[in-house]
Amino acid sequence: MKKTVTHLADGRELLYFDRSDAADRSAPDERELPPRPLPSELRYDPLMDEWVAIARHRQTRTHLPTAEECPLCPAHPGSEIPSWYDVAVFENRFPSFSLGAGEFEPVGGLSAVRPGLGRCEVVCFTPDHQASFAALAPSQVELVMEAWVDRTAELSALPGVEQVFCFENRGAEIGITLPHPHGQIYGYPYVTPRTRQILDSAERYRGNLFADVLAAERAGPRVVAANEHWTAFVPAAARYPFEVHLYPHRQVPDLPALDPAERAAFGPVYTEVLRRLDGLFGVTMPYVSAWHQAPVSHRRDLAYLHLQLFSIRRAPGKLKYLAGSESGMGAFVNDIRPEEAADMLRDQESQAD
């Protein structure tokens, strides 16, 4: 694998991850690009003890372009990526967080305001606009994994970044704005609320919470797929109609801590689960795929790297909307028993194999 760091014409970083060491990325980007936006701001919610990013420039971000105008397809006038690629990563043109300094007026009350310092990147999994992660070749999945590992390490070293989050949103029902197969990476300037809550639970638990959860699930009825290094299971208290967690069998805090065998073994289990999801109802399943990694410098000894994959589709023509209870109170009501969901996913074995 060869990594090349270049820059787009507006100064944003563009990184190529190539399978061939002979790849030449020396040609400069000489296009005229719009100026970079002003940085976002963070506002503190004293009731929830959470920070909220205010990024008004994101109102103008690209929204569902045609295939011919896709900014993630390589080497055309409107592309973010000026040449062909295997896997490409670049700074988001419409970031929620950035390293630019900004000045913000006080908002009054009990809310504090500070610059939205951090980093937001886009990861293009493949140049093929019609592809999906589930259809990627094993070597391509391994290359994406190497990009995740590299970017997690690099963003973790940036001043002010407290947590790195790699994720993919897929499907119009989820709210994507670009259908090209891609993910994103956020370098947050704080530890996210969900991670704080999970680590609080792990800290209160008498023992290793994550390891005990994994051991119980591996011995139970909700395992969907597994190999020597990874197990994928529907959690006992799944919040979404179809939700699968993937755990490595060895506790590590983040993606860079995986050894080569664990990195290579992830793809076969993950893509199998994705194919099973797509086989459930004969339609492309919308999903969110979220890597849970340890914070950069906060309670890393408690964390256990894992991936959470979930879909809001509950039936061929029905979605699970996060309505009053979920959105208003954060109290989930699931329409499908987790054991039933696991059975349905396992029944897709012929399509997955």
pLDDT at 10 over 50: yes
pLDDT at 39 over 90: no
Residue 263 three-state SS: helix
What pTM was estimated for this model as a whole?
0.95
pLDDT at 352 over 60: no
Residue that wins the pLDDT comparison between 181 and 104: 181
Active site residues: 182
Hey, where are the domains in the chain?
Answer: 2-190, 194-352
Distance, CA of 4 to CA of 28 (rounded, Å): 13
State the burial class of residue 116 (Cβ atoms within 10 Å of its Cβ: 0-12, 13-18, 19+).
buried
Task: Classify each residue of 124-158 as buried b or exposed e, where b means 16 or more C-beta atoms within 10 Å of its C-beta.
Answer: bbbbeeeebbbebeeebbbbbbbbbbbbbebbbee
Residue 129 marked as a ligand binder = yes
Distance, CA of 164 to CA of 155 (rounded, Å): 7
- Quick one: tokens of 172? 């119009």
Which residues, at least 6 apart from 150, have a Cβ–Cβ distance to it below 8 Å? 3, 15, 17
Distance, CA of 125 to CA of 327 (rounded, Å): 31
pLDDT at 295: 98
Are the CB atoms for 350 and 286 separated by under 8 Å? no
Beta-bridge partner residues of 315: 318
Of 94-108, 168-182, 240-254, 287-301, the least confident:
94-108
pLDDT at 108: 83
CATH architecture entry for 2-190: 2-Layer Sandwich (3.30)
Residue 70 marked as a ligand binder = yes
Q: Is-same-fold flag (2-190; 194-352)?
A: yes
pLDDT at 311 over 50: yes
194-352 is classed CATH 3.40.50.150: no
pLDDT at 229: 98
Q: What is the mean pLDDT of residues 319-339?
A: 95
Q: With cut-offs at 50, 70 and 90, classify the pLDDT of residue 104.
A: confident
Residue that wins the pLDDT comparison between 288 and 76: 288
pLDDT at 334 over 90: yes
Kindly report the three-state secondary structure assignment for every residue of 277-339: HHHCCCCCCCEEEEEECCCCCCCCCCCCCEEEEEECEEECCEECCCCHHHHHHCCCCCCCCHH
Cα separations in angstroms, 100 against 115, 117, 182, 211, 260: 8, 7, 25, 40, 36
Residue 73 marked as a ligand binder = yes
pLDDT at 157: 97
Mean per-residue pLDDT of the chain? 94
Closest to 54 in 3D by CA, of 67, 66, 37: 37
R_g over Cα of the chain: 20
Q: What percent of the chain has pLDDT over 70?
A: 98
pLDDT at 255: 98
pLDDT at 350 over 60: no
Closest to 269 in 3D by CA, of 125, 134, 144: 134
Other CB atoms within 10 Å distance of the CB of residue 338: 21
